[in-house]
Amino acid sequence: MADSIKEFKFNTKNEFHQFIIKHTDFLKDLVSIQNSSGISYNFNRNSLYEFLKTDFKNNGSVFFIYENKEPIGAIWGYRDPFGDKEFTLSFFAIKKEYQGKGLGKKLMKFVYDKLLKTKRYNKIGMISEKGTRAINERLTGKKGNSSKYTLKKNGCRDEITIKPKLRHIL
């Protein structure tokens, strides 16, 4: 099973650029996950760098899930410039040999908790494919309304919000 999950947070595209200069394996690891996951993205290191630089111009994050210090899955996204504290998830992949073991759900739950519970964001939006929607439904319940999260489906777009905790006033 997965050892750890780590977030890499970037406030500006220049911060992202400086990070990439110092951490040359970062893009290589993302491309490797993409290539061995079966998803339809077709990035190489250069095109991925340009894509992320654009996404990360105002607050972006990459989350890796690791097994034996090897990255086996990733999520990346950015602060939606038009949404009210909305995080737009634009990439989610787990290497094929690790799929079907609950690691995608574990990574997705970690990201939701990290971004929503800390109140950095009010909601997470994404274009959902079959696998992503299935994970969202497992995390929120079949009706999209668990004790923790709410799932709003709009065509192929999913929106996740965290439920506020009720407080008792004495």
Compute the distance between CA of residue 170 and CA of residue 164 in angstroms, rounded to an integer.
Answer: 19
Question: What distance in Å separates the CA atoms of residue 107 and residue 168, rounded to the nearest whole number?
Answer: 32
pLDDT tens for each residue of the chain, 170 residues long: 668 999 999 988 899 999 999 999 999 999 999 999 887 778 889 998 988 888 787 788 999 999 999 999 999 888 877 767 888 888 888 999 999 898 988 998 898 888 887 777 888 877 666 556 666 676 666 665 666 677 777 776 677 776 555 444 54
- All domains of the chain in start order, with CATH: 4-119 (3.40.630.30)
Burial class (CB in 10 A: 0-12, 13-18, 19+), 75: buried
pTM value > 0.85: no
